[in-house]
């Protein structure tokens, strides 16, 4: 059978990303939840390194299992599929929330209102991400061209909001392409409003503590309730959640190339 050597060929390894990512905790959970994964290990690296390994495997039509998520450009660039996850180790499709520091409404009511109004779709985000990574366009250029094409959407966030005069505003984000696309877009929107926006990238858990400790004004990539659930729980009382900016479209799991003839995490060999 074609699939019989997959596990050995992959050295019983799931190719992951940076250790702080929520999806890595979910993948460790999957190794616990599925008996057939007892002998498997999760390899951590970075999103870029994972993608390189995945693209090398695809080039050679070799098997590979990676930690994968949506929105993400990889599904537009390659034929990939999620493995079924009957144990829900990776949770159900989830939301992406906007979190701000306490007191922001008083200190920066204009930014607060825009962030409160902010909502978009997985397609919107994937479009910017694709331009940045696949088309190799500068992130702010890619974000600007999405903004130019979506004036109505932007107006629905900014309508009636006063301009400000060069106040600084700090957005904290994680080290992934999804975050980069979203914060590049929001930084342009806030700069157009008159803010001087700083973007800072940190490991996942520090996004949450930064907003809770007032070291950052906002984060716009809280993947909840599952992926960042543990990080969120720790700071829930010390941040303000402005609700979903994307609803029910964030999905996570183990992802393989279409040519692998398995469909479920349960099909990975012991
Ligand atoms: N991700 C992208 C992140 C959230 C956004 C799925 C890699 C994570 O796992 O924490």
Q: Same structural domain for residues 30 and 103?
A: no
* High-pLDDT (> 90) share of the chain, %: 97
Q: Is the CB of 129 under 6 A from ligand 1?
A: no
> What pLDDT is attached to residue 5?
80
Q: Is the ipTM of this complex over 0.95?
A: yes
Q: Is the pLDDT of residue 4 over 90?
A: no
Contacts with 251 (C-beta within 8 Å, 6 or more apart), sequence order: 69, 70, 82, 93, 94
State yes or no: pLDDT of 2 exceeds 60. Answer: no
CA–CA gap between residue 200 and residue 163 (Å, rounded): 23
Q: What is the pLDDT, as a whole number, of residue 270?
A: 82
pLDDT of residue 1: 45
CA distance 198 to 216: 9
- Judgement on whether residues 86 and 219 belong to the same structural domain of the protein: no
C-beta 185 within 6 A of ligand 1: no
Strand 168-173 with 196-201, pairing: parallel
pLDDT average, residue stretch 74-95: 97
Whether residues 169 and 214 fall in one domain: yes
CATH number at residue 130: 3.10.105.10
| Mean pLDDT estimate for the chain | 96
- Rounded average pLDDT over 24-49: 97
In terms of domains, do 50 and 102 share one? no
Asked whether residue 139 falls in the same domain as residue 216, the answer is yes
| 107/201 same-domain check | yes
**pLDDT score at 166:** 97
For residues 73 and 140, membership in a common domain is answered with no
Q: Is the pTM of this model over 0.90?
A: yes
Structurally, the chain folds into a number of domains equal to: 2
Asked whether the predicted pLDDT for residue 231 surpasses 70, the reply is: yes
Interval between CA 22 and ligand 1 midpoint (Å): 6
Assign residue 28 the CATH number of its domain: 3.40.190.100
Residue-number span of the structural domain to which 83 is assigned: 2-91+252-267
Instruction: Give CA–CA dist 202/210, Å, rounded.
Output: 9
192-200 average pLDDT score: 98
Same domain, 128 and 237: yes
Do 56 and 117 reside in the same domain of the chain?
no
Least confident of 2-6, 97-101, 164-168, 193-197: 2-6
Query: Cα(186) to centroid of ligand 1, in Å?
Result: 18
Residues of the chain above pLDDT 70, percent: 99
The number of C-alpha atoms within 13 Å of 186 and in the hemisphere containing its C-beta is: 31
Q: How far is the CA of 238 from the centre of ligand 1 (A)?
A: 22
Residue-wise pLDDT for 141-183, tens only, equals: 999 999 999 999 999 999 999 999 999 999 999 999 999 999 9
Q: Which protein residue has the closest C-alpha to ligand 1 atom 7?
A: 21
Q: Are 30 and 83 in contact (CB under 8 A)?
A: no
Q: Is the domain of 70 the same as that of 122?
A: no
Do 256 and 215 share a structural domain? Answer: no
Same domain, 119 and 64: no
């Amino acid at each position: 059978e074609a699939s019989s050597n997959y596990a050995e060929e992959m050295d019983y390894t799931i190719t992951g990303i940076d250790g702080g990512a929520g999806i890595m905790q979910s993948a460790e959970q999957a190794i616990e939840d599925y008996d057939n994964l007892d002998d498997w290990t999760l390899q951590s690296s970075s999103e870029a390194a994972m993608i390189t390994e995945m693209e090398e495997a695809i080039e050679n039509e070799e098997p590979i299992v990676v930690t994968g998520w949506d929105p993400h450009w990889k599904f537009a660039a390659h034929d990939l599929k999620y493995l079924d996850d009957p144990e829900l180790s990776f949770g159900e499709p989830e939301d992406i929330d906007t979190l701000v520091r306490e007191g922001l409404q008083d200190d920066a009511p204009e930014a607060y209102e825009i962030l409160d109004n902010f909502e978009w779709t997985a397609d919107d985000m994937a479009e910017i991400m694709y331009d940045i990574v696949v088309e190799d366009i500068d992130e702010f250029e890619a974000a600007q061209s999405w903004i130019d094409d979506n004036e109505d959407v932007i107006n629905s966030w900014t309508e009636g909001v006063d301009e400000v005069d060069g106040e600084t505003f700090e957005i904290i984000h994680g080290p992934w392409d999804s975050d980069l696309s979203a914060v590049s877009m929001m930084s342009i929107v806030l700069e157009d409003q008159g803010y001087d926006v700083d973007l800072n990238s940190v490991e996942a858990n520090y996004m949450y503590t930064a907003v809770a400790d007032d070291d950052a004004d906002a984060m716009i990539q809280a993947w909840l309730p599952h992926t960042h659930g543990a990080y969120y729980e720790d700071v829930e009382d010390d941040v303000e959640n402005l609700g979903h900016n994307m609803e029910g479209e964030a999905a996570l799991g183990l992802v393989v190339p279409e040519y692998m003839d398995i469909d479920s995490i349960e099909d990975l060999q012991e």
